[in-house]
Amino acid sequence: MRFSQVIKGAVTRRPAVEDPAIAEPQNDPSNDGLLGGVIDNAIYSEGRRVLSPATPHQTIEALASIPNALAWIGLFRPNAAALAELEQEFGLHPLAVEDAVAAHQRPKLERYGDILFVVLRAAFYVDEREEVEFGELHLFVGPNFVVSVRHSASPDLSVVRRRMESDPKLLSHGPTAALYGIMDAVVDQYAPVVAGLETDIDEIEAQVFEGDPAVSRRIYELSQEVLDFQRATLPLTGMLETIRSTFEKDEAGLELRRAFRDVADHVAVVNERVDGFRQTLREILTVNATLVAQRQNEDMKKLAETSNHQNDEVKKISAWAAIFFAPTVVTGVYGMNFDYMPELHQWWGYPAALLVMATASIGLYGMFKKRGWL
């Protein structure tokens, strides 16, 4: 499916592996040589499959005897012995072979003499977990051969091979045509990833305004996924420009130049979208921080209002307690019933005590009222 068709469609699940050989790769440590991880080994002439050799040595012999021949060997997680045999037969550079064995390489294009070593990062969106997973693909592109080394089930290069075999005119352009088919398939698989990330961002925006406390972690995790995805796609622009430049003065390569330009256009669209995702996520993170701060300020304001209300109540209670305490002091003193107490046997003693209590209470009430405690 072309990129323009996929990008408009719904998010797809991780594609099922169509090559039955992948389910049980011939990667048993007991195997020797090329048996480790071989999926397909074919020789093409004028874009049509003419032979399926069993060993690299047979492939080399056939290339010498078949005109305009192209060898395409596909491997899936091969053992070191398999790549060592290919290194010897096809003259691959040891450093490139070492990278292909170790994997975990960044996307890049390196030239060793007349052989190109290309590393691609395939990506696919797993909607069950709402995550982006990455695979790794290494390509050795020589004058008359292509060796593909996959470290993940996706992309399924058997589909790419069948597509190229259905267009002998394109495949007749040689190893670079096979490189185009593989890169085009990798870039096409970026479309569901873009759609999946866009859906996640829409959901995050809704979570932010709903006040979901878990959204900050999701923003961070999605930002990391977008960054990893950008690391896989951004280097392709320079790689494609380097490949296209080899056809600038080659009229026979006009069709391939157009094909690679189409892939470059798709990569540019992906990079623009991904860069937009990063900007959007930064803005969402800023908005979320602002909303969180606002909610915290509102909570603090409510807490302060509650505290102030409690303080007012405490003041009122304390004021009334003081007002009622003043008469209690007077009555407590005269309640001790001593014989010799001031005005105890005077007729005005009782009214005087009442006057003192009233005066103290009224004075305290006025003081607390003036201070706003009542």
Q: Report yes or no on 125 lying in a domain.
A: yes
Under the banding of pLDDT at 50, 70 and 90, the label for residue 313 is confident
pLDDT of the residue at 24: 35
**Mean pLDDT to the nearest integer, 245-256:** 68
Do 111 and 18 reside in the same domain of the chain?
A: yes
269-282 mean pLDDT: 92
Q: How many domains does the chain fold into?
A: 2
Q: Both 126 and 273 in a single domain?
A: yes
Query: 145 phi and psi, to 5 degrees?
Result: -155, 155
Q: Assess whether 326 and 181 both reside in one domain.
A: no
On the question of pLDDT at 301 being above 60, the answer is: yes
One domain, residues 280 and 333: no
Mean pLDDT computed over 151-176: 87
Highest mean pLDDT range out of 214-218, 252-256, 268-272, 302-306? 268-272
Angle at 190 between CA 185 and CA 192, to 5 degrees: 115
Q: Are residues 167 and 246 in the same domain?
A: yes
| 223 and 152 assigned to the same domain | yes
Task: Give the range of the structural domain holding residue 227, as residue numbers without chain letter.
Answer: 3-293
172, burial (CB in 10 Å: exposed 0-12, middle 13-18, buried 19+) = middle
Same domain, 99 and 187: yes
CATH of the domain at 339: 1.20.58
Tell me: pLDDT of 229 over 90.
yes
Same-domain status, 192 and 82: yes
Q: What percent of the chain has pLDDT over 90?
A: 29
Residue 357 belongs to a domain: yes
Residues 101 and 210 placed together within one structural domain of the fold: yes
Write down the pLDDT at residue 275. Answer: 93
- Answer whether 160's CB lies under 8 Å from 36's CB: no
- Residues 20-45: tens digit of each pLDDT: 333 333 333 333 334 456 688 899 99
Last residue of a domain, one of 262, 293, 324: 293
> pLDDT tens for residues 57-110?
888 888 888 888 999 999 888 888 888 888 888 899 999 999 888 888 889 999
pLDDT in tens, 211-223: 777 788 888 888 8
Judge whether 328 lies within some domain: yes
Instruction: Specify whether 225 is located in the same domain as 363.
Output: no
List the CATH number of the domain containing 41: 3.30.460.20
